[in-house]
C-alpha cells in the first residue's frame, strides 16, 4: 500500500514540480504577475485547454487517441457563439447530439474494431465542415451567462485557478474514484480480462467517449466565454496541446494509466510556458521552438524522477 501510494505521488510530483518551477520563473521575471489580476491573466486560457486535456485523457484511458479534439472544440465554440445564444434550446440540443455522436463513435470503433486515429481523423473533417457552415467568417457572440461565468471574480482566488481546481477534482472523482472510471481504465489496461470478468466493454468505451465529448463541449463553451466570439479554426491547436498536456501530466498512451489532476496541471504548464516565453522577450521567430524546448526539458525531468522512483522500487 505504501509503495503504491508513493508511485502515484511521484507520478503527480513531476508535473507539479515543473509547474512550480515555471511559475517561480515567471514571478522572478515579472513580479507584477504575482497578483490576483496577474494570475488570472496567466491562467485564463488554461481553463478550456484543461477541459480539452481531460477529454483527451478519457479517450487515451481506453487506449485510443482523438485527433479531432481541436476541430470538435472549434465546432462547439461556433455552436455556442451562434445557436446557444440566439436559440438556447436548439443550441443545447445540438451540443447534446454532438455528445451522443461521440458516444456512438466509441461504439462503432469498438464493434468494428476500427483504428480510433483514422475514425477521429475523418470526424475532424466533419466537425470542421459543420463549423465552416455555421460561421464562414469569424463572428458570433458569447451568450451572456457564459461570459458572466468566465469573467466572474471570486474573492481572493482568481476564477482561472478556481475553475482549474474544480475541473481537476471532478475529473479525479470521475476517473479515479467511481466504478465507471475504474472500468474505463480497466479497458485500457486489459480489455480481455475486463470482458471475461463480465463487464460490457462497449458500454465502457461508449461512456469514455461520451464523457470526453461532454468535457470537450465544456471546453468549447469556456473558450467562447473568454474570447467572446468564435471562428471555425479557433481551437485547432487543441488536438496536439491536449495530447501533450496528458503526457506532461504523467499519463501514458497505453495501459489505462492516466492522471486527471496531472492532466490539469499539464495543461496549466503548457499555458504558462507561452507566457513565460513572452516575458523572456525571446524573438517571436523562436517562440514556438522554445515551447518545444520546454516540453523536452519537462519530459527529461520526468525521466530523471522516474529513475529515482525505479531505484526506490529496486531496494
The one among 10, 65, 101, 201 contacting other proteins by CB under 8 A: 65
> What angle do helix axes 284-314 and 238-248 make, rounded to 10 degrees?
30
How buried is residue 180: exposed, middle or buried, by Cβ count under 10 Å (0-12/13-18/19+)?
middle
Question: Rounded to the nearest whole angstrom, what is the least distance from the CB of residue 69 to other proteins in the complex?
Answer: 13
Q: Interface with other proteins by CB under 8 A: which range of 2-10, 93-101, 221-229, 237-245?
A: 237-245
CA distance 234 to 139: 11
The one among 280, 290, 305, 309 contacting other proteins by CB under 8 A: 290
The one among 13, 33, 107, 108 contacting other proteins by CB under 8 A: 108
Instruction: Assess 233 for contact with other proteins (CB under 8 A).
Output: no
Query: Total residues at the site for other proteins (CB under 8 A)?
Result: 49
Nearest to 56 by CA among 46, 66, 47: 66
Nearest to 123 by CA among 207, 57, 213, 61: 213
The one among 133, 152, 157, 170 contacting other proteins by CB under 8 A: 133
The one among 58, 59, 95, 130 contacting other proteins by CB under 8 A: 130
Instruction: Assess 136 for contact with other proteins (CB under 8 A).
Output: yes
Q: Interface with other proteins by CB under 8 A: which range of 4-12, 132-140, 155-163, 167-175?
A: 132-140
Question: Rounded to the nearest whole angstrom, what is the least distance from the CB of residue 127 to other proteins in the complex?
Answer: 8
Backbone angles phi, psi at 230, to 5 degrees: -130, 170
Question: Rounded to the nearest whole angstrom, what is the least distance from the CB of residue 170 to other proteins in the complex?
Answer: 26
Instruction: Assess 202 for contact with other proteins (CB under 8 A).
Output: no
Question: Rounded to the nearest whole angstrom, what is the least distance from the CB of residue 226 to other proteins in the complex?
Answer: 24
For 39, the enclosing helix (H) or strand (E) is helix 36-43
Q: Interface with other proteins by CB under 8 A: which range of 31-39, 89-97, 121-129, 156-164?
A: 121-129
CA distance 278 to 288: 11
Instruction: Assess 76 for contact with other proteins (CB under 8 A).
Output: no
CA distance 183 to 20: 33
The one among 23, 59, 67, 272 contacting other proteins by CB under 8 A: 67
Question: Rounded to the nearest whole angstrom, what is the least distance from the CB of residue 248 to other proteins in the complex?
Answer: 8
CA distance 113 to 207: 17
Query: Dihedral (C-alpha) 69, 70, 72, 78: value to the nearest 10 degrees?
Result: 160
- Output the CA torsion sign for 19, 226, 275, 53: positive
Q: Interface with other proteins by CB under 8 A: which range of 2-10, 24-32, 51-59, 251-259?
A: 251-259
Q: Interface with other proteins by CB under 8 A: which range of 31-39, 85-93, 170-178, 297-305?
A: 297-305
Q: How distant, in Å, are the alpha carbons of 39, 42, 97 from that of 158?
A: 7, 10, 33
Is 52 in contact with 286 (CB distance < 8 Å)?
no
Instruction: Assess 132 for contact with other proteins (CB under 8 A).
Output: yes
Residues that bind other proteins (CB under 8 A): 63-65, 67, 108, 112-119, 121-133, 136, 240, 243-244, 247, 252-254, 283, 285-293, 295-296, 299-300, 303
Amino acid at each position: 500500500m505504501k509503495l503504491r501510494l508513493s508511485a502515484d505521488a511521484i507520478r503527480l510530483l513531476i508535473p507539479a514540480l515543473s509547474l512550480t518551477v515555471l511559475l517561480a520563473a515567471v514571478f522572478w521575471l515579472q513580479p507584477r504577475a504575482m497578483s490576483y489580476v496577474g494570475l488570472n491573466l496567466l491562467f485564463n486560457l488554461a481553463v478550456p485547454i484543461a477541459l480539452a486535456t481531460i477529454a483527451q485523457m478519457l479517450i487515451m484511458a481506453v487506449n485510443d487517441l482523438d485527433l479531432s479534439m481541436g476541430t470538435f472544440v472549434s465546432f462547439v465554440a461556433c455552436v455556442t457563439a451562434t445557436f446557444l445564444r440566439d436559440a438556447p434550446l436548439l443550441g443545447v440540443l445540438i451540443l447534446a447530439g454532438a455528445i451522443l455522436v461521440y458516444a456512438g463513435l466509441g461504439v462503432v470503433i469498438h464493434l468494428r474494431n476500427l483504428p480510433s486515429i483514422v475514425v477521429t481523423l475523418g470526424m475532424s473533417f466533419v466537425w470542421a465542415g459543420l463549423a465552416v457552415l455555421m460561421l464562414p467568417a469569424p463572428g458570433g457572440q458569447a451568450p451572456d451567462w457564459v461570459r458572466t461565468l468566465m469573467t466572474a471574480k471570486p474573492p481572493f482566488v482568481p476564477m482561472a485557478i478556481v475553475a482549474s481546481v474544480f475541473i481537476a477534482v471532478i475529473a479525479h472523482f470521475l476517473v479515479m474514484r467511481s466504478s465507471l472510471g475504474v472500468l474505463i481504465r480497466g479497458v485500457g489496461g486489459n480489455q480481455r480480462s475486463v470482458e471475461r470478468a463480465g463487464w460490457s466493454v462497449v458500454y465502457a468505451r461508449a461512456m469514455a467517449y461520451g464523457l470526453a465529448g461532454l468535457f470537450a463541449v465544456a471546453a468549447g463553451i469556456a473558450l467562447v466565454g473568454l474570447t467572446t466570439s468564435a471562428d471555425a479554426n479557433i481551437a485547432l491547436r487543441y488536438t496536439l496541446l491536449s495530447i501533450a498536456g496528458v503526457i506532461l501530466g504523467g499519463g501514458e498512451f497505453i495501459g489505462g494509466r492516466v492522471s486527471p489532476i496531472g492532466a490539469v496541471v499539464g495543461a496549466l504548464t503548457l499555458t504558462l510556458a507561452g507566457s513565460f516565453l513572452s516575458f523572456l522577450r525571446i524573438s517571436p521567430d523562436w517562440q514556438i521552438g522554445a515551447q518545444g524546448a520546454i516540453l523536452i526539458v519537462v519530459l527529461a525531468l520526468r525521466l530523471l524522477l522516474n529513475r529515482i522512483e525505479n531505484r526506490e522500487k529496486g531496494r
